Every structure is written in C-alpha cells, then in structure tokens.
Structure 1
Amino acid sequence: MARHGWIVGHDALILTTADGGLTWSKQWRGQNLTDSFLDVLAWTIGMSSPSAPSGFAWKRPTVASSWLSRLLLEEDYHLNRLTRGQTGTLYLAGEHGTLLRSRDQGASWDAIHSPYDGSFYGILPLSDRRLLAHGLRGRLYVSDNDGDDWTAVANETRVLLLTAGLTSPGHIIAAGQARAFFAIDDRTMTLEPCFPAMQTAVAELLILPDGTLLALGEAGATRLSKSSPP
C-alpha cells in the first residue's frame, strides 16, 4: 500500500498513483466542476474515500477505478475531514456542527450529537471509543463513548484548529491558524504551546514513521524534530 496513493482537490478531481508518486493518472472527475474534494482517506489498496461539500464518494474494493457519489446532507455544508478509528469506524466533520459516523465502511452514515453549532475540522480517534473533535475558535471536545456525549476542553486561544494528531499514546498535537500549535495531554486535557519556531498557519500534520512531525501549510512542508520542545 505504501506505493499507492490518491490526490483530491478542485474541480471534483481524483488522481491516483501506483509507484509512490512518480507518475499520476486521472481516476475520476465529477460533472460539477464547481465542487472540490477537501480530504481523502485510504485504508486498504482497494478502498478509499474523499469528502466534499455536501457529498461523499467511495471506492468499491472490487472495481479498481469505480467510484460512487452519494449525497449525505441536504444542506450544502462542507465536509472538512474524514478519519478512521481503531475499530474501523469512519468519522466525518464539517460545517455547522456536522459530525457523522459510519460503522460499515461508508455504506451508511449516522449523525453524531454535536456539542457546537460552528464548524468542525476533524475528529481524532484516541482509542476504541475516545474521540477528540476540533474546529473553529479553538473549540475542542472530548468523548468517551464514540461521540454520543461530549465534554468541552478548556482553551483560551480562540483560533481555528485545522488539524490534530496522536504522536504517541496519551500525547496529542493540534495546530491551525495564527501560529496555533499545542501539545495536549490526553489524561488531563491540558494544552501547552509548542514548536514556537512555526510562524505560519498549518493545515495538516503527518506523523512520520520515526515519530517526527511533518507540518504542511503556508510555509510548505516543515519537518519538526522530536527534540523540539512540546
């Protein structure tokens, strides 16, 4: 799977590679070129899903280049991020408090009770049933029952938190706009500023195999050393 990948983005376009990114080919394109895919997630070679404004497309594992487009919301809300938990449950986070959950690999989706009517930018699975939702104005919420109930996490820094990652058991990194970069203790849910050298917005965090962080954003790709102060 390490050599297979997908890129999604403007004009409802999906590109794929089978050689680690050396070459790319168009795999799917929507009829409405005003739409954009905002995220993509792959969990086997034959199953991947991009999220889009008010829609969702998923790839059948039995048909190598076949995609189905499904409408999940009647409202024209952006679906910002798609994640997968340790049990295989899929989660979608979006505008206007949209939180969705699928326990059958995207075949059906249920609305999760939302603690906030503003936009969410992701749900980070912390364990089998423990989740962290992040979004606008520094909003953070934690759930211990797979999203049925949420508890607000105290955060006085009111900036957009675009991305979060679990760097090791019990240790979370969250980042976003206005130089927001926080280390979060999963046990106490306390926040500490970290990586002060990052002076630009971060849109995505990737946890690399050696444990270091790759921050993607306005400054391009920045590798953050494990020795950087959390």
Structure 2
Amino acid sequence: MSTIRSLRLLFAALILAGAGSVQAEAGSLQAMPLAAPQHAPLVAVAHAGERLAAVGDHGVVVLSDDGNRWRQARDVPVDGLLTAISFADAQHGWAVGHGGLLLRSEDGGETWERQADLEGQPVLLSVWFDTARHGIVTGAYGYAAQTRDGGNSWQRLGLGAEGDDYHLNQVFPGPGGSLFIVAEMGNAYRSRDGGSTWEALDTGSSGSLWTGLGLRNGRVLLAGMSGRVLLSDDQGDSWRELDSGTHEAITDLAELPDGRVALVGNGGLVGVSDRGVGRFTTTIRDDRVNLAALAPQADGDLLLFGPSGVLTQP
C-alpha cells in the first residue's frame, strides 16, 4: 500500500506493516480523552442528520452541531485508529478500523458499542450504510462484506476476477440506487442491485483511485493518484478525465449546494470546480498539511480534516 495517500490510508499502511502490536493495543482500552479533541488527527467525516461526526487516531470521535464547536464522543471502546464513518440517519452510525473493527452508535454518535470483529481481522478502509440494517464495508487486499441485519452478521462480497486483491479504498452511492467502489490501479466496480453483485468498470486509468462521489444530477466522479479526476455521464459505462489543476493525490470530494465540487488532498491541496464540473481551480495551503476529508458548510466555508484536526477554509 502506497504511503503517499491521505492520512487515513497512510495510517492504514503503517498498521499493515505492524498489525500485530497495534491490534493488541486496541483490544480493550478506551479512546484517549482529549482537552481539545478537534485538534486530534482526524481522517474521515460524515453527517448524522445535521450533525457532523469525524473519526481519527486513538479511537477519537468528535461531534459538532454547528461546525464551530466540537466535543468528544463518550464511551468509545477502542484506542486505535478509526479509518471511516457512516450514518444511515441522524441516529444510526458505524465506524470501522483495522483488525476488522466495527463500532455502532444508536444515539447520533454520542456513545459507541463494539460489534464482533470481522472474521480474518481485515484492515477496513471504508463503510457505507443506507438504512439501519443494510451496509457495506471495504478494505485492504480485496476485502468487501455486506450486512442486512445492522452489522450482527456479514457476508463476503466478490468483486472482479477471482484472486484479485486490490485495496478497496471507498464504497459510495451513485445515481438510481447504484453503488460504486474505487480501488488501486485504476480499478472501480459497480453494483445495480444494492451491493449483492458487482461488475468491474473500465475507467481507462492505471493510477490508484482513492475516492468517489455521486452527484445530484446523476453524474459520477472518481479521483485519486496524481491529481486524477474521472467523470462519467452514463452511470459508469464510460469515463473521461477532467482538468483537476493539480498533480497531488486527491483524497476526498464533496458537492457544494450550488452544484460545484470541492476536493482536498495531499500537500495542503484544496480545489473547487466550475459550475459545470468541467475543470477545477486549486490552491495549496501555506501549511501544506495532508488533508484526508472535507465537509462544506452552509456559509460557503469548507471544513478540512487531517493531522491537525479540524481546519476552516474560507
């Protein structure tokens, strides 16, 4: 796994290199309590209704109801890295990490309960739930699994050709109830039946893809290594490359209220597209900090998440 990814995937790579000691450390401890949790390393963010919930290292989960004031969630029963988070609605959320770690919240992220670790203790990189019962997780070495009972039991999913072991970096929803997974080496997969079966897509790219986004107008974006952004106008049947304005790795995408798309990435990369999402204008922050995730605010500001915690970009 490359170490020139987002903070989230960089941490996952380090865990792969030393999985034994890190897994043991996270087995029974509680999240590290912090006086200023918004400054902890944070690698992923999700909406729980109007609330924002972000996760990161040392089992830290931070919550904000206005994007300005942040507090640490109570009763998080792990102290290791949390790599991804998803909420099906304002109350029901899941967070994942290395070692097959699964956490569930039923109160908007205030408290968390550890579910049974997934068999084989895979390094999990992504989680997505659309209801309180149905969800999918993906991870390193081709791991993908689905639950239809709220995470109590999981069934492995087959993607691509037998024996493929690409790291599956993110699962996300697309138009018309479709689902997509982006992976290493330009690989991407699509499901048209809620995640039960998957087909490999020809993206025309050989560089690893870290993130993707289904837009409100039905188009789909994929992004990743070397500033690559791919756009599909036909739900993934074909792809064309956009001018991203950067060669930095792109780690997250978000659609703004006016239909433009924002992106963040390594080296302090922040970018915003034109209204037609045909090209991006990018800047590099003075701090050049690697950025792992973003969340647009109603006032037009962007909240950025990375090793310095929560940052604001006007």
Report the TM-score, using the length of structure 1 for normalisation. 0.88
Instruction: Give the counterpart of 1:38 among 120, 125, 131.
Output: 125
- Answer whether contact 1:87 1:128 (CA < 8 A) is retained: no
- Supply the distance in 1 between the matched residues of 2:246 and 2:151 (Cα, whole angstroms): 45
How many residues align? The count is 223
- Answer whether contact 1:28 1:67 (CA < 8 A) is retained: no
- Answer whether contact 1:6 1:14 (CA < 8 A) is retained: yes
User: What are the ranges of 5 or more consecutive residues in structure 2 without an aligned counterpart?
Assistant: 1-88
Instruction: Give the counterpart of 1:82 among 156, 168, 171.
Output: 171
User: What are the ranges of 5 or more consecutive residues in structure 1 without an aligned counterpart?
Assistant: none
Structure 1 match to 2:148: 60
Superposition RMSD in Å: 2.1
Instruction: Give the counterpart of 2:226 among 112, 122, 137.
Output: 137
Which amino acid is the alignment partner of residue 235 of structure 2? Answer: D
- Supply the distance in 2 between the matched residues of 1:207 and 1:162 (Cα, whole angstroms): 15
Higher relative contact order (CA 8 A, sep 6+): 2
SS in 1 for 2:99: coil
Structure 1 match to 2:241: 152
* 1:94 equivalenced with 2:183 (yes/no): yes
Taking only the aligned residue pairs, the percentage that are identical comes to 30
- Supply the distance in 2 between the matched residues of 1:188 and 1:24 (Cα, whole angstroms): 38
- Supply the distance in 1 between the matched residues of 2:192 and 2:158 (Cα, whole angstroms): 18
| Structure 1 runs of 4+ with >3 Å offset | 194-199, 207-213
Instruction: Give the counterpart of 2:267 among 169, 178, 201.
Output: 178
SS in 2 for 1:101: strand
- Supply the distance in 2 between the matched residues of 1:161 and 1:194 (Cα, whole angstroms): 13
Could you list the per-position Cα deviations for residues 21-67 of structure 1 after superposition, in whole angstroms to 9, with x for gaps in the alignment?
2322122312323x211011111111121111202111104x66222
Structure 2 match to 1:116: 205
- Supply the distance in 2 between the matched residues of 1:8 and 1:102 (Cα, whole angstroms): 22
Could you list the per-position Cα deviations for residues 181-230 of structure 1 after superposition, in whole angstroms to 9, with x for gaps in the alignment?
10011415121125846631111123456765332212112244xxx1xx
Which amino acid is the alignment partner of residue 81 of structure 1? Answer: Q
Report the TM-score, using the length of structure 2 for normalisation. 0.65
